[in-house]
Structure 1
Amino acid sequence: MQLVDIGANLTHDSFDRDRDAVLARAREAGVVQMVVTGASREHSPLALQLAQRHPGFLYATAGVHPHHATEYTDECDAEMRALHAHPEVVAVGECGLDYFRDFSPRPAQRKAFERQLQVGVDTSKPLFLHQRDAHEDFMAMMRNFDGRLGPAVVHCFTGTREEMFDYLDNDWHIGITGWLCDERRGAHLRELVKHIPANRLLVETDSPYLLPRTLKPLPKDRRNEPVFLPHIVEELARDRGEDPGAVTAQTTANARAFFRLPPAG
């Protein structure tokens, strides 16, 4: 079994005490490659550094999450573009819109998103996208770049049927996390995941967030980590009526094609 975790926030300070052990546990569980999420001016360079220390195993994204949109200045844009000059950085993002929390003003979010979409055009790299409670503006901004962007994944999908089919109608990929395992908020995904075409399906933990609530026993610190990706895949396969091995093989092939990753060493 070989799995690819397309979204792990491994630069998060909760991993500072045992990051090497976290990586070792992931390998032992069959997670052979991971994409480390870069989501701010501070953490995108750290994601690259982590990827450079683990060649062939870790890769990185570079971007600014909408929560941090106010930091997307001209200087920040130059920093992101410099990060994208490195081959270990395989996608633009995490970027997008988040009107659920509004940690940055919405005009700042839209401006930062637009500038990062332009980085996507200029680098021809895939997009690692975030959208929450902002679907109409998100789609409008993506339409402004029609025909100029590379592949896109709406990561950590938690939305509605209508939103999902809008993404699929644009041939974008869908990232599924342990939100699927949350009976309070993610129950609707159990039905929706059946309708994702096999070649558009990607899997991720979004560690250290979104610990799958169906894990038994739950870790005492409630921290999610990539070692739990096989559990998410098992639940996803069950909901799709498919064999876990088939879902593993398909999502791994999809991730390598999407991010242009070589086979694991």
Structure 2
Amino acid sequence: MELARRIALESLHSLGMVDLGDAEGDEPGAMGPTLRITPRGRAYLADAPESRRGSEPSRFLDNQAIRIGRGAKVGSVVAIAPFVEIGGVSGALDLHITPQTVSHALSAGFEADVIRARLEQLAPLPDPISRLLTQASAVIGRGEFVATFGFIWVDDPEVRELLSTRRQTADLFIDPSPPGGLLIAPGVDLDRLARRCRSLGVEILVDGAVYRTRTVTPGRASGTRRTDSSGTLPALRSTRSPNSTRTPNSTRTPNSTRTPNGTRTPLYKRGSE
């Protein structure tokens, strides 16, 4: 009993085969809400031969609508869902194919050949839909994506030519750039751009004010490179501790002196004052 109740109130209602009545308006002794069979439910319950149900193919009703037959596979119907709209569901499932749905499918990444193949699995395409797919798949031009850091407006064509051809700034921009300015190459920061352009006499404006660089590039040393003298002998002597240095006036005081005869003469006698 509980299984039948759930099928009637939940499964059939979810499939759109029955509508549920108002439970509050029913009599106190009623088992539950009343059920009303929908047109879809009556179509499913129609007394049609099983052979005719299984052999009915899908077909196009006009230049946009296709009626799904009972013999269509579920996978084939689901495959065309991205580029169709649901038209009617009373008695049969009708799907609409419009230029808008085809355009949305192409923008989502579907190819025209894929759309054509999926539709032909259900029914032969009429000429209007075939021409629609041919026109939608036509390529009238191509555009190339190029990553860029930014864009600077330069109204003067001579200044644009100067910045794009000089060695100091040629590697900062993408060639070719659109008219009216220059595309900045990826990896070029604003400080580097302003510094290079200013070296040619061109200032960069940011929010209406001249941009001032925050970093200074160290200049290159010219001429012969001087050798570091930190490892030379005078430098080593200058780093010695003061206790180990010997002053010119400091002399060693001997305890005795040697006479020319070879005898030592003591400087003082033990016990003498």
TM-score by length of 1: 0.20
Q: Where is the helix percentage greater, Structure 1 or Structure 2?
A: 1
Query: What's the TM-score, normalizing by structure 2?
Result: 0.19
Task: Select the structure of larger CA radius of gyration.
Answer: 2
